[in-house]
Amino acid sequence: MSTQTLLASVLILCAASSAPAQWSGLVSDPPAPRRGSPAQLRQQALDTKKVQDARIREQQIANYRARQSFTNQIYQKLGVPPPPHPNSTIRIIDGELCDTLANPDWVTLNGSMFDEDSHTTITIAKMLKGGDILCDREFYERTRANSGSTLKKVDQIIIRHLAGEKATIGSPLAPCKALRLHPKPGDGVPVYDCGLSDTPENRKTAGIGIPTHEQVVEAQKQIAGILAAEKVRQREATNAKRQAADAKSLAWHMEQAAKGDAYGLLRMGQRYRNGTGVEKDLDKAKDYLSKAAAAGSPTAEEELKALNEPIPAGAPPQ
């Protein structure tokens, strides 16, 4: 995928998630009437908000992944990785930069995870050499007959680079993002790596390059140039769509006016009065508005009356 194509997808995704369709003139169907008790209506509102929030989050992640991919391509052309940022979603694993959002293989490990029929507890079992942590992972299955639970399965996982967490033996695992490394499922104890933060020191230890100030400035110039060009292209495309929609609307108004339709005559009168899609012509505007009023349009009658009123002295020309 080319840089321009990828960038176009970024801007389209951002526009789709934030900007309403102003030129299309489309109106969504009215929401269906809600029924139920107040408690049910509150729950419906909560469920709807959860779905909306999830969709917004998915869109934000998609936008982020596209932007990151685009930025990485710019720096790749310069032969260096993007500059380090310790508070970003980038982590260092096995000497490589990994993005916890751009890479879907990252998972969130938690001390207690529940679903409809079972729950899982992850407890810190022991500290291993090199700072690795061995955790017991217990799967429980809730019985339908009573509120109790029965032990289903116990296995173990190893977690690396659990930085900043208090690894107390016997305590539940605090939430953390980790990438499953090896072995493959069924081949032994699974190993998860939380990675190291993206700092200059950790990059130096991992042998990962850091761009110079000149390279960062050059990358920013390229990104700004491509963004500006893409915005111009999208603005021109939007204008072309708007013009096509206006031309279609004008043709329909002319067709309806030719049939003597009151609304079509009204809209043509307004167009000629304002110069919308046609050259401004107050005589033609009055003619169309007169015909619309005769066809039964009260709006046309009012606008024709206003159009025929004498212009006060000193008022700007119509």
Using DSSP's 3-state secondary structure scheme, residue 127 falls into: strand
What is the reported pTM? 0.53
Q: Is the pLDDT of residue 260 over 90?
A: yes
Specify the pLDDT at position 202: 93
14, two tokens:
């951002």
Q: Which residue has the higher pLDDT, 166 or 79?
A: 79
Arithmetic mean of pLDDT, 246-263:
94
DSSP 266-290: HHHHHHHHHTSSS---HHHHHHHHH
Residue 205's pLDDT is 93
Q: Which long-range contacts (CB under 8 A, 24 or more apart) does 77-83 make?
A: 77/222, 78/211, 78/215, 78/218, 78/219, 80/209, 80/210, 80/211, 80/212, 80/215, 81/208, 81/209, 81/210, 81/211, 82/211, 82/219, 83/210, 83/211, 83/216
Q: In this model, does residue 293 exceed pLDDT 80?
A: yes
Neighbouring CB atoms inside 10 A of 108's CB total 10
Give the separation between CA 277 and CA 244, rounded to whole angstroms: 11
- How is residue 99 written in tokens? 């993005």
Q: Is the pLDDT of residue 77 over 90?
A: no
Q: What is the pLDDT of residues 81-117, one digit of tens each?
A: 888 887 778 899 989 988 887 777 888 887 776 555 5
pLDDT higher than 70, residue 316 = no
Write down the pLDDT at residue 75. 85
- Please state the domain extents for the chain: 97-204, 259-308
3-state secondary structure of 194: coil
